[in-house]
Chain A
């Protein structure tokens, strides 16, 4: 019951995004801060998209995990600023996404619109077409690879 802020942060690396279960909420940048103030564990999290329905699950997962480690006095706050962005995804995060079968975001939203074809995460071909800019979750769009004939999802820049 005397974990430091750093230790709490390490613990939170065990909470994964329910929609992309290969990425944890710390490397995704969803956890913004951990502060211990007068025995209260204050955790700030930020949504990827404003309406991301995974936030409820993530909050519950954080509480369950910390409770199971004997940490009870937890207060989670949602913040919106600075806005979450895919620009800060590290190369290793992008590699994990690609290995999971989701094409990782290109550099930023401006470049995304200039480059029309997404690269297929399975065969690296650029001969792909966009099926829809809105996919199974807010953060993904739908595409089809003309080379390996696989549909695939792309993590949109935001």
Chain B
């Protein structure tokens, strides 16, 4: 299918799938940083498992992106040999772990988005991309149960857990605007029924977040100003540090195998 696409659409698809891969690769890497550090063994394993699912999904999207691009690059080239400004992941997912509350709030915001988004992406006319989305839907159900349950326990837990969770929500809120924004690249694909229109989905996300935060005795922040630009390569200072750690082995020993 990829070799009969119009050049414009092919390019838009490549950028779009790259964004999907990058979101999951970067968030998966962030979760992997918890290995050996979580407060209980079961949680250490849970974060590792969720990170693994996300990195697996990233691998599928990046392989497909490489196939669509058709320039002899592999998923590993895309993951390890691109620079910061070439990454298209949401700024939300590159935010550092800081503490367990930040990690869970970041995850919860992403998981709820993912649940809504995947249902729509699974209807894409581009079957290979829809196939990866369908594959991830049930994985996301487990992820969302995990982060949602933690939001409830942390928010409605001790005073300390409540304050830390509310602080994380307030700090991360400004990164939630762009997860439902659309650019010209997206519009090309929306017109072709290759990508879903995100605008109607934002209110659904807001409703779910609001009801869970409410149940957890937490407050929804006000929409004062949102940070954006990640799909065009604009990132916060945290991504560069993450990439340095993630890419150093591959860049120091290109093509190494063990």
Interface of B is mostly: helix
Query: Are A134 and B138 in contact, with the CB atoms below 8 A?
Result: no
Nearest residue in A to B55 (C-beta to C-beta)? Answer: A51
Interface digits, B223-243 against A, CB 8 Å rule (1 contact, 0 not)? 000000000000000000000
Q: Which residues of B26-57 are within 8 A (CB) of A?
A: 28, 42-43, 45-46, 48-57
Interface of A is mostly: loop
Chain A residues contacting B135 (CB-CB under 8 Å) are 50, 80-81, 83-84
Query: Are A132 and B53 in contact, with the CB atoms below 8 A?
Result: no
The interface stretch among B80-88, B123-131, B207-215 is B123-131
* A135–B146 alpha-carbon span in the complex (Å): 13
Chain B residues contacting A81 (CB-CB under 8 Å) are 127-128, 130-132, 134-135
Chain A residues contacting B48 (CB-CB under 8 Å) are 134
Q: How many whole Å from A150's CB to the nearest CB in chain B?
A: 17
Q: How many whole Å from B256's CB to the nearest CB in chain A?
A: 16
Query: Are B42 and A131 in contact, with the CB atoms below 8 A?
Result: yes
**A158 on interface, CB distance cutoff 8 Å:** yes
Interface digits, A135-149 against B, CB 8 Å rule (1 contact, 0 not)? 110100010000000
Supply 15 further A-B pairs (C-beta < 8 A) apart from A51-B51, A157-B138.
A49-B56, A49-B139, A50-B132, A80-B128, A80-B134, A82-B131, A85-B138, A109-B141, A113-B145, A133-B146, A134-B45, A134-B48, A134-B146, A156-B142, A158-B138
